[in-house]
Amino acid sequence: MRVFVIGTRGIPDVLGGVETHCQNLYPLLLDQGFSVTLIARSPYVDYKESNYKGVSLRAIWASKKVAVEATLHTFLSVLYARLKSADLVHIHAIGPGLMVPFCKMLGLKVVFTHHGPDYDRQKWGWFASSILKLGERFAIHFSDEVIVISTVIEEILKEKYDFHRSHLIYNGVSISKINNIDYKYFLDKYELGKNGYIVAVGRFVEEKGFHDLLDAYSTLKTNCKLVIVGDSDHETAYSKKLKEKALNTPNVILTGFIKKDELVAIFSSARLFVMSSYHEGLPIALLEAMSYGLPVLVSDIPANLAVGLDKEDYYSVGDHEILARMIKEKLSSPRSIMDYSKYLALYDWNKIANKTASVYRQLSRKPQ
């Protein structure tokens, strides 16, 4: 079966939840007899054609204008998939979901994965939110099979659309293997000491709440530095203001986008992980931090609560004063390696690949 994957910026090592999901999932599906081609957006990758662990990669032109990037690229990608006689198209996220009816018009079978209600993100205005809601509606009603990555999204579809036939297949996390990495090289690069800093990860957009984290951190009297890993895909007034605020706050370090060994070193040597998000589909960065045994402190939004952490690991979203107090409490305890194995068992990539393969096979048996 020839599967074409659409809706991601690209792999490998492109920052983003959907991108991380695809990078981990699709190599595992090759062992189950599927041929997979992932279509990337040209501005985010350095190839036109490539291969990642057996997954064929094809970059297609994409506009960098945020208003049209996902929709226009998805349209071109669907045409490409049809030209290449795809047996199945797997579309990720509700923005690209707007093109599901177009897929069906071309006679393609479609699996859609809902990664979260992106229209709730603060960065979108009324019109963009309306388009994203339409994308969700189209994807839910026209896709042959629908996958949701969390119970929170599953409940949203039941309440909004009385939709009860989604497949709950969690997002995953790879249990971190820390081998032969020169931590000191990377830590020295940012003048960091082992277990001497707080780490946060994400794009510089409003819904990640980094402004709250900076407000909270600026009130602390601590030698523990704050390291923020990430940047903006599209420079905005918010991202510029955030960077300026970070640069003017003592002991805050912005690393930009980092990957591979450098990211492993930063995660594995941190004292505390903080996620101040207002919106998540399923918080992959949190799961990754947990895979390193990091103590965590996260906002009490539904997606984070669904992970089921202890009460003292959550704070009231948007309240930077409570966040500051709870960071101080976390830092007052000795650094310890946490055992999150009971939480992470749900997010095993092999289980996720098996369940996804089952959805594909189920759809392959259905008449067009």
Q: Where are the domains of the chain?
A: 2-172+348-364, 183-344
Residue 325 tokens, joined: 């107090």
Calculate the dihedral angle through the C-alpha atoms of 150, 122, 321, 276, rounding to the nearest 10 degrees.
40
Does the domain at 2-172+348-364 match CATH 3.40.50.1220? Answer given as no
Please report which residue ranges of 98-182 form alpha helices under DSSP H: 100-105, 126-142, 151-161
Question: Residues in the chain, how many?
Answer: 368
Q: What is the pLDDT of residue 176?
A: 61
Q: What is the pLDDT of residue 181?
A: 65
Residue 35 tokens, joined: 């041929």
Which of the 8 DSSP states describes residue 145?
Answer: E
89 in Cβ contact with 108 (< 8 Å): yes
Q: What is the pLDDT of residue 222?
A: 92
Strand partners, 298: 275, 314
Name the superfamily (CATH) of residues 183-344.
Glycogen Phosphorylase B; (3.40.50.2000)
CB count within 10 Å of CB 321 equals 13
Identify the three-state secondary structure at position 60.
strand
Which amino acid belongs to residue 142?
F
Residue 65 tokens, joined: 């204008």
Residues in the chain, pLDDT under 70: 121-123, 175-181, 368
Stretch (H or E) spanning 361: helix 349-364
216 in Cβ contact with 297 (< 8 Å): no
- Of 15, 16, 56, whose CA–CA distance to 39 is shortest? 56
Let me know if the fold of 2-172+348-364 is the same as that of 183-344. yes
Stretch (H or E) spanning 177: none
Residue 91 tokens, joined: 């579309």
Q: What is the pLDDT of residue 246?
A: 97
Q: How far is CA 343 from the centre of its chain?
A: 18
Which of the 8 DSSP states describes residue 20?
Answer: H
Task: Please report where in the chains the tokens 């289980």 appear, as a residue.
Answer: 351
289 in Cβ contact with 200 (< 8 Å): no
**What is the rounded CA–CA span in Å between residue 171 and residue 17?**
9
